[in-house]
Structure 1
Amino acid sequence: MKKIILFEMIFIFCFGIAFPQTRNQKTKVVTKQNVQKEPDAKLLYDQACDFYNGTNGKFMDREKAISLYKQSADMGYSVAQYELGRLYVKSLIEKKDIIYITEEEALDYLKKSAKQNNPKALYALFTIYYEGLIVPQDYSIAIYWLRLGADLEDPACIFSLGLEYQIGKMVEIDDQKAFYLIKKAANLNYVDAYEMVGNCYLHGWGVEKNINEAKQWFRKGAEKDDSGCQAALADYYIELEDDYEQAYYWYRKSAEQGDSYAQLKTGAYYATGYKGCVEKDINEAIKWYRKSADQGNTDAQYRLAEYIKMDNPNEAFYWYKKAYEKGNLNAGAELGIMLFLGKGCVKDVKKSVEILQELSEKGVTRAIAVYGKMLIDGIPGILKKNKAKGNALLQSVQDINGNIRN
């Protein structure tokens, strides 16, 4: 089943979204100046968006856009305050689109927006302190902002707080409380929570196991085009109902939305013509493996390399190396072999032996077999011949293969 990562914060901000101002209902004295202030700030914000994005007949002028955002923000417009902070952090992450404000200003604007109960700003501050993006990492401050957002019934904050109760970085683990919060976010129509609600029911995390309820939540999210739910529903069909056609349908839907895990599974269907659901098509398999590999999926990187190594050894070496650097040990074994042969790379026998010896000690079957043969033959100046150890390694591989066949 698709591996579920309980808590991996993704720092994503929406573009050009305006949030309603939080206004002081106790203030009853309205002056002409106050009446004009908010519309002017909103107008400046809209103009800033146009200059930043080059829309509505405006030429793109990022410096002017930031100037207009600042004017709007300094008038107290929460949306502009948030946008300035968002753009600054985004520029740091992507290392482009220089923002003409300081780090201190960005943080100050986000805090001002948060004080007006802007949930996006609260969530942004939580993420900044949680990840240590422009400030030192501080979980105590991060959870402070997250709880404020959850108290405002913001579903993203509620969901993230629920996830935190599952892993316990900032609070003590409490599976029941985690489920309560995650389910609450889902009941507020926060689609990102649907998959985790389904998994809670599927695995009995904080709630009694209920397979049918899990399926319903996966399907509910899948029908709302949530790629995670689509992939989870596909896993459900394969593992619990042996319905490979339905599984393929949902993997493909998820893959088309860019889910790297679903792209890997879709590639596997085409690689084998799995259960007759699709015709075997290696080119189509390679296409989906490459899409997944480009997103960093190490299994896809390894499988892609396997299929292209005969025709394109240089690219295969690249993908084996990428996968091995991220912990895929089978890819490491193939990398060691290519280094030994000088195939798709500059030959480096010493490095090859080092990799294969290490992986052999970690129990990687392919590495054990190759390293065992190296020991039997020996490599002058690099590896001393040791027939007894080499034969023992080869025998262990045969025993492993025999147990697998049995």
Structure 2
Amino acid sequence: MAKKIRFPLQMNGTDVRTIEELRENFDLSSVLGYLTNGKLVTWLEDRYYDNEATAVRALSTDETDLNQKLMSILGVSDDVKTEEIDLEEIQRRNEKLMLLRQITDDEEIIDNVDCVAFNQDELYDILDDGKETIYLCQGEFNIPLTVKNVMYIGLDDPIVFLRAYDNVNFASLNVNFVNICFGWDISSITNKDRLYQAERLMEQSKFEDALSILEILTAEKNPRAFTVLALIYEKVYQNGDKAQKLRKQSAELGNVFDWFEINKKFSKYKEMLHKMVNKGDKIAMGYLGCIYALDNDFDNASKFFELGASQKDVSSCEALYYLYMNEFMEKEIPEKYVDKKRALTYGKQATALGHADIANKMGVIYDEGKIVPKDMTEAIKYYEIAVSYGNTFACNNLASCYRDGNGVEQNYEKAVELYKKAAEQGYAGAQNELGVLLFRGDGVEQDYNLALHWFELAASNGNEVAKENVDETRRKINESSRILSDSDLEELKKNDEAMKKNMQKIGRELNDEISSITDELRTDGFFDIF
């Protein structure tokens, strides 16, 4: 027969195995806890304290003098100091312990059950107690950003919102999140808030003004500011490396948007984003649309994209453009959503919000005249918008228009300027075209060597035409070098003959001058002295 294991009770950090040890280490809070969860009766029965076990089993937790009766049954002296204990609190603590053990076997967390919150009220109680480490478990929580110096640790994917207020300086709060993906409750924000102002400036395409605010906010570790700044660098200035760096920083802080962007696991993205959308968060609208699109639920995806676009969310406008163009995430788009003319509506909206790549694509659409009638005035307008944001392809496309006089007056100098801008950004097509203009001397002084430089660079970047141009330019340089040498030699001969004639002339003039002086001196009797 297997031997029965008799577990001790824990009191004041001591393992209690006998009733004498219980009396010596008596702690009313612990004993009440063991009473409510049934472990006290089991402990007594396992040790054959049958009279005490029977008496304890007969107790009701509703009795007003429960504490005194319990102490009497266990033989604890009345001299032992006790405080008034809230039995409901004890019961809740035991419930929390039971739930906690289902989630984790980490003894450190279990030992700190009083720092674990399963709901908002428990969080408030723990904050009132001044705890500096708080575990948020499973539930939904709003974090008040008025309480400083707290580390929040997530257990089993809690839904957490930061209750933001105007001009929070996160760096000064010293509030940290571990294993927590948080969203935003922006319902308390007013137009005095700097982040609010930056997002409005984005809507007005005042990106430099927005940047100046956002740079300060990211220095203050404002998580949402990282997301908004990343949007500007990605959509407007098309600096993907910078945007990715910002997103990584934001994700490390716990921001839901950038957890999603870098594919960190969180089981409740959709639930959290729905709640944020209900609070009017336009960025959440675009992200929620993306999650539905990833699930191939384009009805809901388009619904939330439309909602975001109505609030001037650039990512939502971008998504709708690609969705209706049938170019969304390499997905097979249902036919009812393929509407390229409708896509132009969102292309225009995305352009107005600073989306440089879509601005260039809009230019191409009007330039080619396949979806709409060809309209070079519109094409040039969109190319120029995209160029103003530094879009590489737009620089190349507009350069071609100036080179060919397509929609604008032909201007080789302007073409060279724009091709060079695109070429310096690494676009092989522009590198080759710049080489051609240098080779021909169109809009720039002819320079075979510089043309060769750009042809070689374009060829190294995979441009096949440039590879042929490299060979032709090298042949031309060799030929020019040979002609130059013959010309130089002929020139040297001419210069030599001219120099000889000049020296002979100078010699004759000098002899004549000496003869004239000598005659004058003889006339004056100068030589008679000798």
Identify which of 439, 454, 457 aligns with 1:340. Answer: 439
TM-score normalised per structure 1:
0.51
In the aligned structure 2, how far is the partner of 1:244 from the partner of 1:374? 43
Q: How far off its partner does 1:368 sit?
A: 2.6
How do residues 246-325 of structure 1 correspond to structure 2 at under 5 angstroms? Answer: 246-275=342-371, 277=372, 279-310=373-404, 311-325=410-424
Number of equivalences: 260
In the aligned structure 1, how far is the partner of 2:313 from the partner of 2:452? 45
Seen in structure 2, the aligned counterparts of structure 1 residues 327 and 181 have a Cα distance that, compared at 3 Å, is farther
Q: How far off its partner does 1:381 sit?
A: 7.2
Q: How far off its partner does 1:346 sit?
A: 3.4
User: Quick check: which one's helix share is greater?
Assistant: 1
Does 1:222 find its partner at 2:222? no
RMSD: 4.7
Identify which of 282, 287, 300 aligns with 1:191. Answer: 282
Residue type of the alignment partner of 2:382 = W
Residue type of the alignment partner of 2:323 = Y
Seen in structure 2, the aligned counterparts of structure 1 residues 348 and 194 have a Cα distance that, compared at 3 Å, is farther
In the aligned structure 1, how far is the partner of 2:419 from the partner of 2:265? 40
- Name 2:466's counterpart in structure 1: 367
Q: Which is higher, the Rg of structure 1 or of structure 2?
A: 2
In the aligned structure 1, how far is the partner of 2:284 from the partner of 2:417? 36
Residue deviations 1:13-41, cap 9 Å, x none? xxxxxxxx9778xxxxxxxxxxxxxxxxx
Residue type of the alignment partner of 2:436 = I
**Percentage of identical aligned residues:** 24
Q: How far off its partner does 1:308 sit?
A: 1.2
Identify which of 318, 322, 327 aligns with 2:426. Answer: 327
- Name 1:387's counterpart in structure 2: none
8 Å Cα contact 1:268/1:274 also seen in 2: no
8 Å Cα contact 2:226/2:250 also seen in 1: yes
Residue type of the alignment partner of 1:158 = V
In the aligned structure 1, how far is the partner of 2:446 from the partner of 2:389? 29
In the aligned structure 2, how far is the partner of 1:125 from the partner of 1:259? 18
Seen in structure 2, the aligned counterparts of structure 1 residues 303 and 181 have a Cα distance that, compared at 3 Å, is farther
Residue deviations 1:253-304, cap 9 Å, x none? 33234332332222122212233x3x32212211110111111111111111
Seen in structure 2, the aligned counterparts of structure 1 residues 272 and 200 have a Cα distance that, compared at 3 Å, is same
In the aligned structure 2, how far is the partner of 1:373 from the partner of 1:232? 45
Residue type of the alignment partner of 1:174 = K
Structure 1 unaligned blocks of 5 or more: 1-20, 25-41, 46-78, 88-92, 99-105, 115-120, 132-136, 148-156, 167-172, 385-406
Seen in structure 2, the aligned counterparts of structure 1 residues 362 and 221 have a Cα distance that, compared at 3 Å, is same
- Name 1:234's counterpart in structure 2: 321
8 Å Cα contact 2:257/2:287 also seen in 1: no
Q: How far off its partner does 1:320 sit?
A: 1.3
In the aligned structure 2, how far is the partner of 1:266 from the partner of 1:244? 11
In the aligned structure 2, how far is the partner of 1:160 from the partner of 1:212? 24
Seen in structure 2, the aligned counterparts of structure 1 residues 373 and 216 have a Cα distance that, compared at 3 Å, is farther
Any idea what SS the aligned residue of 1:235 has?
helix
8 Å Cα contact 2:286/2:304 also seen in 1: yes
In the aligned structure 2, how far is the partner of 1:327 from the partner of 1:186? 40
- Name 2:106's counterpart in structure 1: none
In the aligned structure 2, how far is the partner of 1:254 from the partner of 1:320? 25
Residue type of the alignment partner of 1:346 = E
User: Quick check: which one's strand share is greater?
Assistant: 2
